[in-house]
Chains A and B, each alone.
Chain A
Amino acid sequence: MLIRKPADLRYSDVTPKNVYVNRRRFLAAGSAIVGAWALPTPAGATMKLNNVVKSTYKVDEKITPKEDITSYNNYYEFGTGKDEPSRYANTLRPSPWQVQVGGMVDKPKTYDLDSVMKIAPLEERIYRHRCVEAWSIVVPWIGFPLAALLKDVEPNSKAKYVAFQTLYDPKQMPLGNRAGIELPYVEGLRLDEAMHPLALLSVGLYGETLPNQNGAPIRLVVPWKYGFKSIKSIVKITLTDKQPPTTWNITNAREYGFYSNVNPTVDHPRWSQASERRLGELFKKKTMMFNGYPEVAGLYSGMDLRKNY
């Protein structure tokens, strides 16, 4: 077994973005009157992540501009409009943060961000991300395999599923009461899905920590499933023996199943899933089975994906 030395990186070590951006701006400005101190500190400032290894998990497609990835979001706790999370998620406090991992495990743990960062080396992975609403993006995520965290807590033999929960704090998320979905947001995977090397816990994108609207400080990324499975701002992970409830399935079971694998041959009851609009492109393109990640097909052999949508 390959044992890698955890990165010597503490979350608290990363340089705040406004510091290095302002430094650059300051240098560029030369004798300009507007100095760094005059610039307001953005509430949801992201920070540069160091010691990130480029992973071989990358798609050879044009990466979606950061501007698009961070301004077009579904994060209903901060409003149901696509542009609302980027405007309103600055009330989220991603630090300090704790992720409670428990349930059917031998070593339940509560991680703070520094200890999360030590679970495994951070890698950059360029994944396709396909929303159930038939739009898609290509994102340079930074994170580590979910499997690494699960191995760290040692699931016991009864554990069959992994349940995830997003923070719900009405003070930080005042728009949550008009989300139209039950909060806190919950999601789940089968344990073998969660252990698949593609399943990622992400702490950043585009070389920096996650912007709040993208699910700071830590989120799931399951690239072969519709985007809503990739739960944001995780506070709790529970191993269980029963299939956990999931938010969109609770909201509308006929339209959103537990599996929600990207599948061009199984339409959403209200719209086609055969094609998608890649942000930045005018015309739609064909959607690929499992979003172009055929290596996960083995997880579902023998299953009727029409029934298990």
Chain B
Amino acid sequence: MKKILFSPWTKRGLFAVCLIPALLLVWRGFMGNLSANPIEFIEHKTGDWALRFLLITLAVTPLRKIFEQPLLTRFRRMLGLFAFFYVCAHLLMYLIFDQMFSPSGIYADVLKRPYITVGTAGFLMLVPLAVTSTAAMVRRLGPKRWQLLHRLVYFCALAGVIHYYWLVKSDVREPLMYGGILTLLMLFRVRMWLQKGTKSKPQPAGVSV
């Protein structure tokens, strides 16, 4: 198991897997199979995957503890960056096709539409995390400050769930499901923190790579 987790091919394979949703969209585009409303379709799919990757990223630590596989951390940064990648695609679709880069339109939306406000906040919180995801940045910030900063990811995920919940008209099952998963992942952390108390040493992501 350790060997597999250490293999560079595992990481490359995972990278390819994470790209599948994006490639599938491109493929559907070529096949003219993006529904009657392609813009909305791509917006929804990239939004779905951004939120899923955020939750998958947040699942790494619990899985690592439960299965006692510290090497799983090797994949966390990549998963997080994929969340950022899908968020960027999602946001770009909105900026280009919904707003045509109109500053006044975007400004009004961010101020007046709570789901857009919270979505924007989620994106803005994710930016510093992507920027400081390199090993060099971990060293520069120091593990303690780095980890403190990266706790923002909890709020990013929460923003993502709320963004989705506030968007739907009546059928809230899917956003609630994501909310439930996030709650479980957070409960695991609360338990972890309670058990460890203050003796825990921060474990930055990049260093084990």
Determine whether A83 belongs to the interface, using a CB cutoff of 8 Å to chain B.
yes
CB distance from A129 to the nearest CB of B (A): 13
In the complex, A281 Cα to B40 Cα: how many Å? 12
Once A270-B114, A272-B109, A283-B97 are accepted as A-B contacts, the answer to whether A135 and B173 lie under 8 Å apart by CB is no
Residue from B108, B166, B170 in contact with A272 in the complex, judged by beta carbons closer than 8 Å: B108
In the complex, A72 Cα to B34 Cα: how many Å? 11
Residue from B36, B114, B167, B171 in contact with A68 in the complex, judged by beta carbons closer than 8 Å: B36
In the complex, A71 Cα to B36 Cα: how many Å? 7
CB distance from A38 to the nearest CB of B (A): 26
9 tightest Cβ-Cβ pairs between the two chains A and B: A180-B170, A72-B36, A68-B36, A80-B171, A180-B171, A279-B36, A181-B170, A279-B37, A71-B36
| Secondary structure class of chain A's binding surface, majority of residues | loop
In the complex, A251 Cα to B97 Cα: how many Å? 30
Once A267-B112, A283-B100, A284-B98 are accepted as A-B contacts, the answer to whether A82 and B171 lie under 8 Å apart by CB is no
Range for the number of chain B residues in contact with chain A:
20 to 34
13 example contacts (A-B, Cβ-Cβ < 8 A) are as follows A67-B36, A80-B169, A80-B171, A180-B170, A180-B171, A251-B170, A252-B170, A270-B167, A271-B113, A272-B105, A272-B109, A283-B100, A284-B98
B→A interface (CB under 8 Å) = 35-37, 39-40, 97-98, 100, 105, 108-109, 112-115, 166-167, 169-173
Once A179-B170, A283-B100 are accepted as A-B contacts, the answer to whether A72 and B113 lie under 8 Å apart by CB is no
CB distance from B160 to the nearest CB of A (A): 17
Chain A residues within 8 Å of B172, by CB: 180
CB distance from A290 to the nearest CB of B (A): 23
Q: Once the chains bind, are A72 and B35 in contact (CB under 8 Å)?
A: yes
Chain B residues within 8 Å of A179, by CB: 170-171
In the complex, A272 Cα to B109 Cα: how many Å? 8
In the complex formed, the residue of B with least CB distance to A271 is B113
Residue from B40, B169, B173 in contact with A277 in the complex, judged by beta carbons closer than 8 Å: B40
Q: Once the chains bind, are A82 and B170 in contact (CB under 8 Å)?
A: no
A:177-192 near B, CB below 8 Å = 178-181
Chain A residues within 8 Å of B109, by CB: 272
Determine whether A3 belongs to the interface, using a CB cutoff of 8 Å to chain B.
no
In the complex formed, the residue of A with least CB distance to B100 is A283
A:262-288 near B, CB below 8 Å = 267, 270-272, 277, 279-280, 282-284
Once A277-B37, A284-B98 are accepted as A-B contacts, the answer to whether A270 and B113 lie under 8 Å apart by CB is yes
In the complex formed, the residue of A with least CB distance to B173 is A178
In the complex, A170 Cα to B109 Cα: how many Å? 39
Chain A residues within 8 Å of B112, by CB: 267, 272
In the complex formed, the residue of A with least CB distance to B99 is A284
CB distance from B103 to the nearest CB of A (A): 15
Q: Once the chains bind, are B40 and A135 in contact (CB under 8 Å)?
A: yes
Range for the number of chain A residues in contact with chain B:
20 to 34
In the complex, A83 Cα to B37 Cα: how many Å? 11
In the complex formed, the residue of A with least CB distance to B172 is A180
CB distance from A143 to the nearest CB of B (A): 22
Determine whether A76 belongs to the interface, using a CB cutoff of 8 Å to chain B.
yes
Most chain B beta-carbon contacts within 10 A, residue among A83, A267, A270, A284:
A270
Chain A residues within 8 Å of B113, by CB: 270-272
In the complex, A89 Cα to B170 Cα: how many Å? 19
In the complex, per-residue mask of A224-261: 1 if CB is within 8 Å of any chain B CB, else 0: 00000000000000000000000000011000000000
In the complex, A67 Cα to B35 Cα: how many Å? 10
In the complex, A181 Cα to B169 Cα: how many Å? 10
CB distance from B105 to the nearest CB of A (A): 8
CB distance from A86 to the nearest CB of B (A): 10
CB distance from B15 to the nearest CB of A (A): 30
Q: Once the chains bind, are A76 and B40 in contact (CB under 8 Å)?
A: no
CB distance from B149 to the nearest CB of A (A): 32
Chain A residues within 8 Å of B114, by CB: 270
Most chain A beta-carbon contacts within 10 A, residue among B36, B97, B166, B170:
B36
Chain B residues within 8 Å of A271, by CB: 113
Q: Once the chains bind, are A71 and B35 in contact (CB under 8 Å)?
A: yes
CB distance from B163 to the nearest CB of A (A): 11
CB distance from B115 to the nearest CB of A (A): 6
In the complex formed, the residue of B with least CB distance to A68 is B36
